[in-house]
Amino acid sequence: MAVVKEFTLPDLGEGLTEAEIVRWLVEVGEVVAIDQPVVEVETAKAVVEVPCPYGGVVTARFGAEGDTLDVGRPLVTVAVGSHSDAAGDPEGPDASGASGGGSDEGSGNVLVGYGTGTAVARRRGRVRAVDGSVKAEVSVTEVPVTGVPVADGPVAVISPLVRRLAREHGLDLRALAGTGPDGLILRADVERAVAAPAQAPAVAPAVSPASVVAGEERVPLRGVRGMVADKLARSRREIPDATCWVDADATELLAARAAMNASGGERISVLALFARIVTAGLARYPELNATVDAERREIVRLSAVHLGFAAQTERGLVVPVVHDAHTRSTSGLSAEIGRLTEAARTGALTPRDLTGGTVTLNNYGVFGVDGSTPILNHPEAAMLGVGRIAPKPWVHRGELAVRHVVQLSFTFDHRVCDGGTAGGFLRFVADCVENPAVLLAAV
The catalytic residue positions are 414
User: Helix, strand or coil for residue 376?
Assistant: coil
Residue in 323, 315, 366, 324 with CA at minimum distance from that of residue 344: 315
- Please give the Cα distance from 68 to 242 (Å, whole number): 37
Residue in 281, 290, 326 with CA at minimum distance from that of residue 307: 326
Amino acid symbol at 425: F
Q: What are phi and psi of 144, to 5 degrees?
A: -55, 135
- Please give the Cα distance from 154 to 147 (Å, whole number): 7
Burial tier of 160 (Cβ tally within 10 Å: 0-12, 13-18, 19+)? middle
User: Which segments of 106-175 does DSSP mark as H helices, in order?
Assistant: 160-168
Structural contact between residues 257 and 268, judged by C-beta atoms closer than 8 angstroms: yes
Q: Give how far the C-alpha of residue 409 lies from the chain's centroid of Cα atoms, to the nearest Å.
A: 25
- Please give the Cα distance from 170 to 314 (Å, whole number): 38
Q: What are phi and psi of 59, to 5 degrees?
A: -105, -20
Summarize the chain as % helix, strand, coil (round to 5).
30, 30, 40
- Please give the Cα distance from 92 to 88 (Å, whole number): 7
- Please give the Cα distance from 127 to 98 (Å, whole number): 18
Q: What are phi and psi of 210, to 5 degrees?
A: -70, -20
Structural contact between residues 371 and 407, judged by C-beta atoms closer than 8 angstroms: yes
Would you give the DSSP letter of residue 22?
Answer: E
Q: Angle, to 10 degrees, between the axis of helix 251-262 and the axis of helix 419-434?
A: 50
What is the helix (H) or strand (E) element at residue 322, kind and residue range? Answer: strand 321-322
Residue in 50, 105, 63, 59 with CA at minimum distance from that of residue 80: 59
Euclidean distance between the first and the last CA atom of the chain, given in angstroms as a whole number: 68
- Bridge partners for 60 per DSSP: 77
Query: Dihedral through CA 146, CA 148, CA 149, CA 154, nearest 10?
Result: -60
